[in-house]
Amino acid sequence: MWWHQHNLCFRHPIEEDYSGDLEEKVSVAGSGTGRGSPAVTLVQLPSGQTVHVQGVIQTPQPSVIQSPQIQTVQVATIAETDESADSEGVIDSHKRREILSRRPSYRKILNELSSDVPGVPKIEEEKSEEEGTPPNIATMAVPTSIYQTSTGQYIAIAQGGTIQISNPGSDGVQGLQALTMTNSGAPPPGATIVQYAAQSADGTQQFFVPGSQVVVQDEETELAPSHMAAATGDMPTYQIRAPTTALPQGVVMAASPGSLHSPQQLAEEATRKRELRLMKNREAAKECRRRKKEYVKCLESRVAVLEVQNKKLIEELETLKDICSPKTD
DNA sequence: ACCAAGCATCGTCAGCTAGA
DNA sequence: TCTAGCTGACGATGCTTGGT
């Protein structure tokens, strides 16, 4: 379905947040054609030359270029899927689903492509291209408790005392922050000092943990003992305070797994696990879509390059024909 | 201004796969 | 065998665009 749409329209992917991910040899820009109109792509060559090209997939124009084998395989795969999608009425959805689900991951395809074809960027195993961003959700430690604040943030508290904050509105790349609990000595009643290792605290956030309310403090705030700051360098400090009144709206409380007794607690544990699974899957889906876009972008770049090459070779062929067989009239 | 169609994005589910 | 991750499919939602 999706490939069908892509091949038909040859849309340029949305210029979204990931622009600049790829080191493209050419820059491709979709012209401002309306819906359903023939797709014309603007190709900027490294030399600065600008060429208008049409989508190659649906173009019946003969090509003199023998594509590299790996690319042929990929295109053939897409074309097959198109056909299967077109014959939707013939095969049942389950079979179609089977066919579609056997497609290798975009990372794999693109990496295979890039290993065989120079100039095709790789999708990194870890998102190293996004420097300065916190680790991906997939690398997070398995938490023992997870909570959601009224603002939609997720707080995960791991066995080792690490508090992870996931911001669902941050497109999955910058939403994870880590806190380390340092329950040293004898804290004041109802208070626990934590060290905050995140990069993007705004100093005004509030979040909640079981039985305690965490107040995020600015680094300048004279809240933590001085020895804490001295021991951890520039880390700002935070304090967990006892809850004042009832829980704020939207906070999901759960007991730790070690203290499960009643069916209600078991249900809460199940809910907590489900929330964690959904959160991970949400992030995975975002990442998958991002890779998909990157993959499509890469393929379109290759199409543009090959079309330009194709055009040049055809022109060259015509020139050589003219030279070899001069007109006799 | 209103409406409908098309499109993009997101969250979730389900199934597959690779690795432990 | 189990589990975590990946990804297609599906439905919901919001935005854009063209027609009236």
Query: DSSP letters of A170-214?
Result: GTTTS-EEEEEE---S-PPTTEEEEEE--S---S--EEEETTEEE
User: What local confidence, expressed as pLDDT, does residue A297 receive?
Assistant: 86
Both tokens assigned to A66: 């023998």
CA/C1' separation A188–B8 (Å): 51
- pLDDT of A71 above 80: no
A179 neighbors A197 (Cβ within 8 angstroms): yes
Q: What span, in angstroms and rounded, lies between the C-alpha atoms of A304 and A45?
A: 10
In the predicted structure, residue A273 carries a pLDDT above the cut 60: yes
A75-107 burial code (b ≥16 CB/10 A, e <16): beebeebbebbeeeeeeeeeebeeeeeeeeebb
pLDDT at site A220: 28
- Total-model pTM: 0.42
In tens, the pLDDT along A209-245 reads 333 333 333 322 322 333 333 333 223 233 333 332 2
Is any atom of nucleic acid chain C found less than 7 Å from the CB of residue A6?
no
**Spatial separation of the C-alpha atoms in residues A208 and A215, rounded to whole Å:** 8
Evaluate if the CB of A284 falls below 7 Å from strand C: yes
pLDDT given at position A65: 29
Q: Which nucleotides of B are covered by protein (CB under 7 A)?
A: 6-17
Q: In this structure, is the dihedral angle defined by the CA atoms of residues A258, A262, A265 and A270, taken in order, positive or negative? A: positive
Question: Residue A8 pLDDT > 50, yes or no?
Answer: no
For all residues of chain A together, what is the average pLDDT? 47
Per-residue pLDDT for A97 more than 80? no
Nearest to A306, CA basis, from A22, A23, A26 = A26
Q: Does residue A306 carry a pLDDT above 60?
A: yes
CA(A285)–C1'(C7) in Å?
Answer: 8
Contacts of A121-125 spanning 24+ positions with Cβ under 8 A: A121/A21, A121/A22, A121/A23, A121/A24, A121/A298, A123/A291, A123/A294, A123/A295
Distance A204 CA to B14 C1' (A): 40
Residues in chain A: 329
DSSP letters of A66-98?
Answer: ---HHHHHHHHHHHHHHHHHHTTTTS-HHHHHH
Cα separation of A163 and A239, whole Å? 13
Interval A108-133: pLDDT, tens: 555 555 554 444 444 444 333 333 33
Q: Is A2 helix (H, G, I), strand (E, B) or coil?
A: helix
CA of A36 to C1' of B8 (A): 16
Q: Which residue has the higher pLDDT, A71 or A293?
A: A293
**Residue A268 banded pLDDT, cuts 50, 70, 90:** confident
- Spatial distance between the Cα atoms of A217 and A111, rounded to a whole number of angstroms: 44
Highest mean pLDDT among A42-56, A69-83, A214-228, A244-258: A42-56
Closest residue, CA to C1' of B8: A14
Q: Which nucleotides of C are covered by protein (CB under 7 A)?
A: 4-10, 17-18
Is 70 exceeded by the pLDDT of residue A139? no
Is there a contact between A270 and A260 (Cβ–Cβ < 8 Å)?
A: no
Let me know: does A220 contact A203? Beta carbons within 8 Å. Answer: no
Give the orientation angle of helix A69-86 with respect to helix A93-101, to 10 degrees: 170
Q: How far is the CA of A36 from the C1' of C18 (A)?
A: 13
Q: What is the mean pLDDT of residues A44-68?
A: 38
Residue percentage of chain A with pLDDT more than 90: 11
Q: Where are the domains of chain A?
A: 264-328
Q: How far is the CA of A37 from the C1' of C18 (A)?
A: 15
DSSP-assigned letters across all residues of A246-270? SPPTTPPP---GGG--SHHHHHHHH
| Res. A95: pLDDT tops 90 | no
